[in-house]
Amino acid sequence: MPVIQVKLLAYTPNPDAVVYYATKLTYTTDEPLNMWDDILAHKDEPKYRRRMKKLIHTVLKRGHHSVLEHANFTFIVDGCSRVCTHQLVRHRIASYSQRSHRYTEINDEAFQVPTTIADNEEAIALYREHIGKSVELYHKLLDLGIPREDARFLIPQAVTSPIMVTMNARELIHFFGLRLCTHAQWEIRQAAALMLNEVKKVAPIIFDGVGPRCVMLGYCPEGDDDCYMNIVIKQKGRGEGSAS
């Protein structure tokens, strides 16, 4: 079974500094060229970083999110099924490049398996049988001269296909809010969690406190009683402290 993997390939240099510059530019009359040089000179100093964080988060709380759009991040996501990538590409403020099954041949090892099926002996046997038969028929069609782009109609959505993704920080925060939620499907939740881990390494100020919407909003917008945030709120109301 393929393992979902994510790698951050490229990103705007000094993303925290870039977003800080954008916020400061709108609020001060400092000379813009010198201001950037000053930020670069001090951006790694703890006291200065605290100042950066305070201004960025203040501006974001006021709803001025456009400053986040100056920082871009490019990932490769591998091991996700077509089910997952169909969900991913619904996020429109992004750029995507995906391995094409018009031009590449599908093998019998590149299929994702849900845990609910993998853990059921009878279900996994049926699943593997169906996948194997589909791939066998796919290759028979290829042998008959059917083009790959038409033969692939036989292939289940479980087939994996690596996808390159570029999003700006604003879209990523929106993406994480939706796709880290427990209402999202397990595959895209895993991919989103790995993507968040990657960007936090290079932009810790921008992505500080970012998570599912319930965490960022302080309540569950889905109205789910089993949501982590609703459980926390109920426990606080009863004086029980936070959930572990």
pLDDT in tens, 22-47: 999 998 898 999 999 999 999 999 99
* Model confidence band, residue 52 (pLDDT cutoffs 50, 70, 90): very high
The tokens describing 221, both together, are 């917008």
- CA–CA–CA angle 15, 187, 114 (5° rounding): 160
| pLDDT score of 228 | 60
Rounded to 5°, the CA angle 167-220-50 comes to: 55
58 to each of 127, 142, 207, 211, how far by Cα in Å? 51, 59, 14, 18
Q: Of 71-75, 111-115, 188-192, 223-227, where does mean pLDDT reach its minimum?
A: 223-227
Residue 224 pLDDT level (bands cut at 50, 70, 90): confident
Considering the domain delimited by 5-79+89-93+161-211, tell me its CATH architecture: 2-Layer Sandwich (3.30)
The catalytically annotated residue of 82, 152, 170, 179 is: 179
Please give the Cα distance from 188 to 191 (Å, whole number): 5
Question: Quick one: angle between helices 186-202 and 169-179, nearest 10?
Answer: 140
pLDDT at residue 223, rounded to an integer = 75
Give the whole-angstrom CA distance, residue 71 versus residue 17: 10
Q: Is 170 a catalytic residue?
A: no
Minimal CA–CA distance to 202: which of 14, 69, 5? 14
Across the beta sheet with 94-98, the strand order is: 5-11, 72-78, 163-168, 94-98
